[in-house]
Amino acid sequence: MEFAQGTIFRSKLLNNNLCLIGFGILAFITLMGVLAPVIAKNPYKTNIAERLEPPNLKHPFGTDQLGRDVYSRVVWGVRTTLLVALTISLMSMSIGCFLGAIAGYFGGIVDDIIGRVIDVFLAIPELVFNIALVGVFCLAYGESIWNVILAVVITNWVSYARIMRGIVLSLKEREFVLCEKALGAGDLYILIRHVMPNAIGPMIVLATLNMGNVIMTIASLGFLGLGIQPPTPEWGQMINAGKNYITTAPWLTFFPGLFIAVSILGFNLLGEGLQEVMDRERIVET
Amino acid sequence: MLRVENLKVHFKTELGIVKAVDRVSFDLREGEKFTLIGESGSGKSVLAQAILRLLPENAIVAGKIIFKNRNILELSEREMRKLRGKEIAWIPQSQNSLNPVLSVGFQCAEPLIEHFKVSKRRAFSRVFKIFKFLGIESKKAKNYPHQFSGGMKQRVLVAMGLSAEPELLIADEPTKGLDANKIGQIIKIFKKINKTMLIITHDLRFADKLSDRVAVMYCGEVVEISPAKDFFSSPLHPYSKGLLDSLPSRGLKPIKGFQPSMIDSPKGCKFRERCEHSIEACKKTPPVITLNDRLVRCWLYAKRREIEKNV
Amino acid sequence: MKRYIAKRLLQTIPTLFGVSLLSFSLLYLFPGDPAEFVAQIRYGIEPSPQVVEEVRRELGLNEPFLIRYVHWLSHVIRGNFGISWTEGEPVIKLIMQRFPASAELFFATFAISIAFAVFLGILSAIYKDKAIDHFCRIFSLLGISIPSFWLGLMLIWIFSVQLHLLPAFGYGGLRHLILPVLTWSFSFMAIKTRFVRSCLIEELSKEYVVVARAKGLKDRVVVLRHAFRNALIPIITYFSLSIHHLIIGSIMVEVVFSWPGLGSLLVESVFKRDFPVVQALVLISGVMFVFVNIAVDLLYAVIDPRIRYGE
């Protein structure tokens, strides 16, 4: 039975165009990142003789103000962005799911406190708080990738916690959980046995859509000059440097931005597609 | 006045084709109250929506619906719109049929404003008269649906149907969700309305008190059409008998088994598997037999007529 | 109703308290000695210990955390956000100077986005799963995927660099407003369009819509007067929630177009390490969000007749 359901689910995934296109885009971009050493040159190598060259055969995306190959920097930038975004997502997901689950499960004062904290973090616009935090962290700990990661995680765990709390709350009152409780099952057992399987679907959708947001935040901070610092290749920061040459060398801005947009689009397409498939699943069930 | 000929309404769904209405024919005479009786899911509400052409896009409709010598199914959307509400009005099922954010008075006045291009004030004064006729206080016209009880909502729906003086009223399950007391009031109101009415209900007692003629629907098909008096004293079709026997006043004997699915309903007579009298012939599609002014779709009567002929 | 308002206001107190505590602690996270930093700005590279001590006392930095917080909060409630470290002017004055530009950008974007979101959302809902619906979907997917700072730069490249039609940067007349508003609207309207679409689709599937059609109303009337009016309640609620952007609109758009609003003030202040300003902006934007939420809750109660007249 479970096998059959899994097969149907897979066939639905494959029939969903959004999922397929999104997955295709992400697979392509990830592959670029993985193969960066093979398909791209050294992203740090400067060459003043070849600075600000428009796209040509040797430099398909042109060169920047220091004569670095924009194509190579963009391709290596895949690694930076995806790795940082993944780190942020995993960290905020663990924190968020943990806090959300204990808030929903134990209720009472624990829920009150975590609920208030969630409210407070929801109230302050994410980017505003990110910028303020990165500003402080830069002063406190010097410039480091961890400033960005920490600042984004501090605001990003909230959405996971909120959804997780809702899932646990709705499950807690269901008969099978009450039954298990009456039979003396441990809290941890119930959380793992019943909450996990039910939470995994919504969490995957949320994480996918959230990856898009995180990439946007990383790029925005990079563009403001508060994110990952040069010479590490990062798309937002490349646009920040490129914007000064917008009149003469628009390719410095164009290509990194294209990659930001396409990778965010990939995550959004995949996320929306997954959501569609799961919604339909639920309709068939009821 | 209204003649339905060989009407079929099928829905294309993911699970297959749903034959909600299949080979249905009947006619409505001027001034009579004609009741369609059937269990829920027998396709009677779909039939009503088919007459007004309000079915969703996945419906396939075939056959003829002749209203005043015009086939409704062939009218343009524009002509159809002029018909709806003005010549044929619909009294929908209660509760959620009213728009929650518009005042009930305005909702009742809408058909008047639309079809007669009268001012809002004149439309309202007409609505007040109808409200009075139906026993609704006119000051309640400004209220919103959530402020009404179930019985009052049903009256408002009747007022909405009556407002543009239609020639034919189709009432869809007017007693749904109402208690016996409220049903009594609705019966009184319906008796006062002097119009041709097509009433759709699963409530046999309600049908008994109101109808001139009744038609029984089972699994998308009309199995019997009889004058109400004859029907309630001597039903013809085994299903009609079963329905009447399931009434508390007649012994409370429910028909065994369930109504078959409309997706792959049995060939031949659809009631066959639940019928006490089923014979070999029932595996073939039963003919429609005319007995005086009554119609029945059953092999039992075909045999009987043949026997009569032979004697 | 009054009790509801009171309850709602009471509920926000812990949130407001948390927001204020969080923004205040930002300053506390400040590494090193703020007094020394301020003294450096005011009196040159190497201020003497006496000067630093004087600044410390002036800023109240020698007190413990809690006392400083209470002191700060008591000033903030009266609208006094302290003195900017780098400009030497009251923070509130700096904020008021920048606010009009932010508000102008916001209102222009808000108006345009609403108009387009409603228009496209209605089209999408009516022509569900048709070409125009797919187009709107792609459009809104791009809206949430394309970074506004990149879109802004691309628009500058097209309209300012290539076509010389519009100014690339700065604040001034209507011509300066066009590109920033276009850029921001593109993402601002994206999710709103989807929201209008799904609300309207949900309403169109309700029974009262079929009833409205049964009255013979034109499709336009059915959609706008009946379905859309119901959809309007969640739509207005949802749109109003975005009013909190009024304070710090789009940071990215303001920075790209050198728009002298509060978003660019925030970024400038972070770079200048002018923490009292950063702190004030974080606080104000959080408080704004909380108040907009309450206002929207109350608005919801006012526009929905079910709540307006509810028990």
Confidence of residue A60 (pLDDT cuts 50, 70, 90): very high
Question: Does pLDDT of A9 surpass 70?
Answer: no
Taking contacts as CB-CB distances below 8 angstroms, the residues of chain C near B85 are 214-217
Nearest to A139 among C153, C256, C273 (CB): C273
Within an 8 Å CB–CB cutoff, is residue A257 touching chain C? yes
Which of 212-231 (A) contact C at CB < 8 A?
A: 212, 216, 219-220, 223-226
Cβ pair C309:B144 closer than 8 A:
yes
DSSP-derived letter for residue B267 is S
- Are C158 and A247 in contact, with CB atoms under 8 Å apart? no
Average pLDDT for residues C204-224, to the nearest whole number?
Answer: 92
- Are A222 and A228 in contact, with CB atoms under 8 Å apart? yes
Q: Could you tell me which residue, A204 or A182, shows the higher pLDDT?
A: A204
Cβ pair C210:B93 closer than 8 A:
no
Residue A69 one-letter amino acid = D
Candidates C13, C149, C155: best to mutate against A (most CBs of A within 10 A) is: C149
Nearest to C156 among A135, A141, A246 (CB): A246
Taking contacts as CB-CB distances below 8 angstroms, the residues of chain A near C26 are 132-133, 136
pLDDT in the model for residue C173: 85
Shortest CA distance to A209 belongs to which of A163, A156, A269, A153?
Answer: A269
Tokens matching residue A61: 């995306």
Nearest to C267 among A124, A224, A247 (CB): A224
The residues, ordered by sequence, that sit 6+ positions from A229 with a Cβ below 8 Å of its Cβ are A143, A237
**Kind of pairing, strands B213-218 and B2-13?**
unpaired
Element (H, E) at B62: strand B59-67
Q: What angle do CA A136, A137, A141 make, to 5 degrees?
A: 130
Within an 8 Å CB–CB cutoff, is residue A113 touching chain C? no
Element (H, E) at A175: helix A175-182
pLDDT in the model for residue C103: 94
The nearest CA of chain C is from the CA of B101 a distance in Å of 6
Residues above pLDDT 90, as percent of chain A: 65
pLDDT in the model for residue A55: 94
Tokens matching residue A2: 């479970």
Lay out the sheet containing B213-218: strands in order across. Answer: B88-91, B168-172, B196-201, B33-37, B213-218, B221-227, B294-297, B288-291
Taking contacts as CB-CB distances below 8 angstroms, the residues of chain B near C226 are 99, 102
pLDDT in the model for residue A286: 40
Within an 8 Å CB–CB cutoff, is residue C93 touching chain B? no
Residue A197 one-letter amino acid = P
The nearest CA of chain C is from the CA of B106 a distance in Å of 11
3-state secondary structure of A154: helix
Cβ pair B111:C216 closer than 8 A:
yes
Residues above pLDDT 70, as percent of chain C: 96
CB-count burial class (<10 Å; 0-12, 13-18, 19+) for B119: exposed
Q: What is the pLDDT of residues C18-64, one digit of tens each?
A: 999 999 988 777 666 777 777 877 777 777 888 888 888 877 777 88
d(CA A215, CA A219): 6
Cβ pair B99:C212 closer than 8 A:
yes
- Are C250 and A84 in contact, with CB atoms under 8 Å apart? no
The residues, ordered by sequence, that sit 6+ positions from C170 with a Cβ below 8 Å of its Cβ are C176, C257, C258, C259
- DSSP track, A53-107: PPS-SSSTT-B-TT--BHHHHHHHHHHHHHHHHHHHHHHHHHHHHHHHHHHHHH-
Tokens matching residue C73: 């909060």
d(CA A166, CA C70): 35
Question: Does pLDDT of A104 surpass 60?
Answer: yes
d(CA B22, CA B4): 12
CB-count burial class (<10 Å; 0-12, 13-18, 19+) for C165: exposed
Nearest to A132 among C32, C149, C282 (CB): C282
Cβ pair C161:A246 closer than 8 A:
yes
Cβ pair A243:C282 closer than 8 A:
no
Q: Which range among A115-124, A141-150, B207-216 shows the weakest confidence by mean pLDDT?
A: A141-150
Taking contacts as CB-CB distances below 8 angstroms, the residues of chain C near A216 are 147
Residue A167 one-letter amino acid = I
pLDDT in the model for residue B67: 92
The nearest CA of chain C is from the CA of B114 a distance in Å of 7
Tokens matching residue C141: 């997917």
Within an 8 Å CB–CB cutoff, is residue B153 touching chain C? no
Nearest to B90 among C214, C218, C305 (CB): C214
The nearest CA of chain C is from the CA of B181 a distance in Å of 26
Within an 8 Å CB–CB cutoff, is residue C95 touching chain A? no
Task: Return the bridge partners of B27, or none.
Answer: B3
pLDDT in the model for residue C53: 85
Count of CB atoms situated within 10 Å of the CB of B163: 27
Average pLDDT for residues C279-308, to the nearest whole number?
Answer: 86
Count of CB atoms situated within 10 Å of the CB of B58: 10
Within an 8 Å CB–CB cutoff, is residue B111 touching chain C? yes
Touching chains, A (3+ CB pairs < 8 A): C
3-state secondary structure of B52: coil
Cβ pair B92:C211 closer than 8 A:
yes
Taking contacts as CB-CB distances below 8 angstroms, the residues of chain B near C218 are 81, 114
Tokens matching residue A133: 């935090």
Q: Which range among A80-84, B225-229, C261-265, C301-305 shows the weakest confidence by mean pLDDT?
A: C301-305
- Are B68 and B1 in contact, with CB atoms under 8 Å apart? yes
Question: Does pLDDT of C79 surpass 80?
Answer: yes
pLDDT in the model for residue A3: 45
Cis, bond preceding A54 (omega within 30 deg of 0): no
The nearest CA of chain A is from the CA of C218 a distance in Å of 32
- Residue C273 phi, psi (nearest 5): 55, 35
The nearest CA of chain C is from the CA of A176 a distance in Å of 32
**Kind of pairing, strands B88-91 and B168-172?**
parallel
Q: Could you tell me which residue, B196 or C65, shows the higher pLDDT?
A: B196
Count of CB atoms situated within 10 Å of the CB of A231: 12
- Are B22 and B8 in contact, with CB atoms under 8 Å apart? yes
Candidates C129, C130, C204, C215: best to mutate against B (most CBs of B within 10 A) is: C215
Q: Could you tell me which residue, C46 or C269, shows the higher pLDDT?
A: C269
- DSSP track, chain C: -HHHHHHHHHHHHHHHHHHHHHHHHHHHT--S-HHHHHHHHHH-SS--HHHHHHHHHHHTTTS-HHHHHHHHHHHHHTT---B-TTT-SBHHHHHHHHHHHHHHHHHHHHHHHHHHHHHHHHHHHHTTTSHHHHHHHHHHHHHHHS-HHHHHHHHIIIIIIIS--S-SS---SHHHHHHHHHHHHHHHTHHHHHHHHHHHHHHHTSHHHHHHHHTT--HHHIIIIIIIHHHHHHHHHHHHHGGGGGTS--HHHHHHTT--SHHHHHHHHHHHT-HHHHHHHHHHHHHHHHHHHHHHHHHHHHH-HHHHT--
Candidates B77, B99, B173: best to mutate against C (most CBs of C within 10 A) is: B99
Element (H, E) at B221: strand B221-227
Candidates A25, A121, A139: best to mutate against C (most CBs of C within 10 A) is: A139
Shortest CA distance to B203 belongs to which of B159, B248, B155, B162?
Answer: B248
Touching chains, B (3+ CB pairs < 8 A): C
Confidence of residue A283 (pLDDT cuts 50, 70, 90): low
Taking contacts as CB-CB distances below 8 angstroms, the residues of chain C near A264 are 144-147
Q: Which position has the token pair 């616009």?
A: A125
pLDDT in the model for residue B305: 66
Chain-centroid distance of CA A88 in Å reads 7
* A200-214: b (≥16 Cβ within 10 Å) or e: ebbbebbbbbbbbbb
Tokens matching residue B154: 């049903």
Confidence of residue A2 (pLDDT cuts 50, 70, 90): very low
Distance set, CA A222 to CA A59, A228, C17, C252, C306 (Å): 24, 6, 32, 11, 48
Q: Average pLDDT of chain A?
A: 89
Which of 194-233 (C) contact B at CB < 8 A?
A: 206-208, 210-218, 221, 225-226, 229-230, 233
Q: Which position has the token pair 């793992």?
A: A192
Element (H, E) at A120: helix A108-123
d(CA A143, CA A281): 47
d(CA B86, CA B167): 8
Element (H, E) at B154: helix B150-162
Q: Global pTM?
A: 0.86
- Are A135 and A199 in contact, with CB atoms under 8 Å apart? no
Which of 141-200 (C) contact A at CB < 8 A?
A: 141-142, 144-147, 149-150, 153-154, 156-157, 161
d(CA B51, CA B2): 10
User: Which residues of chain B fall short of a pLDDT of 50?
Assistant: none
Cβ pair A223:C149 closer than 8 A:
yes
Q: What is the pLDDT of residues A200-251, one digit of tens each?
A: 888 999 999 999 999 999 999 999 999 999 899 999 999 999 999 999 999 9
Chain-centroid distance of CA C258 in Å reads 18
Taking contacts as CB-CB distances below 8 angstroms, the residues of chain B near C211 are 90, 92, 97-99, 160
Average pLDDT for residues C290-305, to the nearest whole number?
Answer: 84
Within an 8 Å CB–CB cutoff, is residue B256 touching chain C? no
Give this complex's ipTM: 0.90
Confidence of residue C96 (pLDDT cuts 50, 70, 90): very high
pLDDT in the model for residue C108: 96
Q: Which position has the token pair 């039992």?
A: B300
pLDDT in the model for residue A5: 54
Residue C146 one-letter amino acid = I
Round the CA-based radius of gyration of chain C to a whole number and report it. 24
Residues above pLDDT 70, as percent of chain A: 93
Question: Does pLDDT of C305 surpass 70?
Answer: no
The nearest CA of chain C is from the CA of B47 a distance in Å of 14
The residues, ordered by sequence, that sit 6+ positions from B133 with a Cβ below 8 Å of its Cβ are B192
Tokens matching residue B228: 């109400």
Nearest to B115 among C211, C216, C229 (CB): C216
Within an 8 Å CB–CB cutoff, is residue B38 touching chain C? no
Question: Does pLDDT of A281 surpass 70?
Answer: no
Tokens matching residue B107: 């909702």
Highest mean pLDDT among A11-20, A81-90, B289-298: A81-90
Element (H, E) at A21: helix A17-34
Chain C, nearest residue to A248 by Cα: C161
Nearest to A132 among C146, C153, C270 (CB): C270
- Are C126 and C223 in contact, with CB atoms under 8 Å apart? yes
Average pLDDT for residues A123-150, to the nearest whole number?
Answer: 89
Count of CB atoms situated within 10 Å of the CB of A191: 18
